[in-house]
Amino acid sequence: MPLNKGKRFVERDRSWHPVAYTPGYKTAVARSPSQPLVSLQSPSISEVSGPDFQHLRMGSHDNDLLLNYREGKGQDGLPVGERIIMFGRVTDQFGKPVPHTLVEMWQANAGGRYRHKKDQYLAPLDPNFGGVGRCLTDEDGWYRFRTIKPGPYPWPNGINTWRPSHIHVSVMGPSVSTRLITQMYFEGDPLIPICPIVRTLNDPEAVQTMVGRLDMAHSRPMDCLAYRFDIVTRGELQTYFENV
Amino acid sequence: MKQPNSTPTTDLMLRETASQTAGPYVHIGLALSIAGLPPRQEEIWNRMATPEADGQPIEVVGSVIDGNGDLVRDTFIEAWQADAHGEYQCDFDLEKPFNSFGRSATTVESGGEWSLITVKPGIINAANGKPMAPHINLAVFARGINMQLNTRMYFEDEAEANAACPILNAVESESRRRTLIARREESEDGKVRYRFDIRLRGEGETVFFDF
């Protein structure tokens, strides 16, 4: 499907997104290009097409982090922490739903510890929590995960720098032009405004696009709370009047 | 936080969700084997072509180097390329011999190299109908990279097509164009490998695109 021949996407506003060189986030200093990006005035099929994952075979618990790690280990416990549903809708900038697109996520456990061999934080791993999920959006652009709310954690940037609770979110959208990796933060978290990675953004309104909202209406009484996180990918245009 | 400096919103159009770095633990989510997690039923990884795929089998390898000249050992890379006939195989299916989409990563264990097992892509036309030289689109994600860096890898042994490629020629500086050309290496057993090192900043900085 997403060959998108004859499609174009609304230009990315690169001052809305974080720019590359953001010295408050130290790692960015040596990893940001010093030369300007080269703009392709007429993107080709290489840029407007992208993969369609409807034939990727997924497990039945790929989007359920309460169950998908213990399964892998043959254990039968549940993870410790705040049980939540994280859900939302992927639309483009014109409000059009983005159906059947791959949404992936990963996160630390309730104590802020990642199940990654490189993470040495002293908070313990949870034997029943892996921290990875994926799903496709449905016909109307909706996705959902069930998980544990991740904890904040310290990282070596300043002397006392902590990440707010966050879930990394990856969405493909209809083409490699719409490809986006972001982080969902949690409404009301006082660590959000002091985080150097959040502060790579210049516009407080842009920060708001990354905040998941507590949604009591979609929570499950006596079971779990819900956070809604809608994702907006670049608007899709038809091309008119080219090559004349 | 500073004053807003992005272009003003119109209420006719939503703003794109803002990008954030993929961070140091991107592998947990997108490259499970690297993080040490058990694989799921199917994973999206770096074998884009099986031996049954049409075209010339190649391996693509490279390092990612930061502005100090040091290896970046936590890069995550996505590749997008046409098949040997110059067609994008959009329908990702691991039962097919070729997929246009693949993923790789650099790690400490891999000596800081990423690799793709694929076939050499065919020629595709640019939006104006002119042929583009064979190329692989690459997106580079890592800790310290706030939004993925998009580049293209071209092939050293396609000099004529490269010289005529409208996208390569959109890069004004000739010396910068060279940063997009992968070097051909042939191993003793006749396997063809292309090496494409990505320099994020400073001397020999790779060209990155906006599109």
Of B95, B141, B207, nearest to A181 by CB-CB distance is B141
Residue B98 has pLDDT above 50, yes or no: yes
Q: Does A42 contact B at CB distance below 8 Å? A: yes
Quote the CA–CA distance of A80 and A92 in Å, as a whole number. Answer: 36
Contacts of B203 (CB under 8 A, 6+ apart): none
Q: Which helix (H) or strand (E) holds B177?
A: helix B174-177
Active site residues of A: 114, 153, 163, 166, 168
Domain ranges of chain A: 7-238
pLDDT of residue B17: 98
pLDDT of residue B9: 61
Contacts of A105 (CB under 8 A, 6+ apart): A86, A132, A133, A134, A145, A147, A167, A168, A169, A170, A184, B29
Superfamily of domain B20-199: Aromatic compound dioxygenase (2.60.130.10)
Mean pLDDT (chain B, rounded): 94
Domain ranges of chain B: 20-199
CB contact under 8 A, B124 and A2: no
Residue B110 has pLDDT above 70, yes or no: yes
pLDDT of residue A244: 47
Q: What is the mean pLDDT of residues B37-49?
A: 96
Quote the CA–CA distance of B104 and B142 in Å, as a whole number. Answer: 12
Q: Residue A77, Cβ neighbours under 10 Å: how many? A: 12
All residues of chain B having their beta carbon less than 8 Å from the beta carbon of residue A179 are 78, 139, 148
Hey, what CATH topology would domain A7-238 get? Protocatechuate 3,4-Dioxygenase, subunit A (2.60.130)
Q: Does B167 contact A at CB distance below 8 Å? A: yes
pTM of the full structure: 0.95
Residue B1 has pLDDT above 60, yes or no: no
If pLDDT is split at 50, 70 and 90, which confidence band does B128 have? Answer: confident
Q: Does B133 contact A at CB distance below 8 Å? A: no
ipTM of the complex: 0.95
pLDDT (tens place) for every residue of chain A, 244 residues total: 577 777 899 999 999 999 999 999 999 999 999 999 999 988 999 999 999 999 999 999 999 999 999 865 666 799 999 999 999 999 999 999 999 999 999 999 999 999 998 899 999 999 999 999 999 999 999 999 999 999 999 999 999 999 999 999 999 999 999 999 999 999 999 999 999 999 999 999 999 999 999 999 999 999 999 999 999 999 998 777 665 4
All residues of chain A having their beta carbon less than 8 Å from the beta carbon of residue B95 are 55
Q: What is the mean pLDDT of residues B147-164?
A: 98
All residues of chain B having their beta carbon less than 8 Å from the beta carbon of residue A180 are 16-17, 19
Quote the DSSP letter at residue B8.
P
- Residues 60-99 (B) with a CB less than 8 A from some CB of A: 66-68, 70, 72, 74, 78, 80, 82, 88, 90-95, 99
